[in-house]
Amino acid sequence: MLWINLAGMALIALIIWWFWTYQPPNIALQTGAIDIIVKDGVYQPSKIKISANKGTTVTFTRRDPSSCAETLLIPDLEINATLPLNKQVSVVIPASPQGCYAFHCQMKMYVGELIIE
Ligand SMILES: [Cu+2]
């Protein structure tokens, strides 16, 4: 009986950890190339950091055949790109002021964040 209770508590703790505290790994890069893979419902990495007032190029490679993933939108920067399957596409991020800029696919199944600081 005690073991069942302990196992149950451990499971609950694991569920709480997974859903409330677990954050997928982020990659923060200030310089150099940033490559994002579009796959399995997530941008990898989904959070990227770049320097303010300094443009950069981010490449996207779509590995998800669903057509919705084909469109990449960064509304605040007025960027709209088409990502053909399995092709690396360079997206030029213009020099921009500090802030958080969301990027996503057409239906927002894929979501990511561009942090400019
Ligand atoms: Cu989508």
Q: What is the pLDDT of residues 40-83, one digit of tens each?
A: 999 999 999 998 998 899 999 999 999 999 999 999 999 999 99
- Identify which of 87, 88, 82 has the alpha carbon closest to the alpha carbon of residue 69: 82
Residues having C-beta closer than 5 Å to ion ligand 1? 68, 105, 107, 109
Q: Give pLDDT, residue 29.
A: 53
- Apex 32 CA angle, 40 and 116, nearest 5: 75
Measure the CA–CA gap between 36 and 48, rounded to whole angstroms: 9
| CATH (residue range 26-116) | 2.60.40.420
Per-residue pLDDT of 12-29, as tens digits, reads 777 666 666 555 555 555
Model confidence pTM above 0.85: no
Q: How far is the CA of 13 from the centre of ligand 1 (A)?
A: 32
Helix (H, G, I), strand (E, B) or coil at 102: strand
What residue segments make up the domains of the chain, in order of their start?
A: 26-116
pLDDT at 93: 95
E-state strands within the chain:
34-39, 42-44, 47-50, 56-62, 71-74, 79-82, 88-93, 99-104, 111-116
42 CA distance to ligand 1 centroid (A)? 10
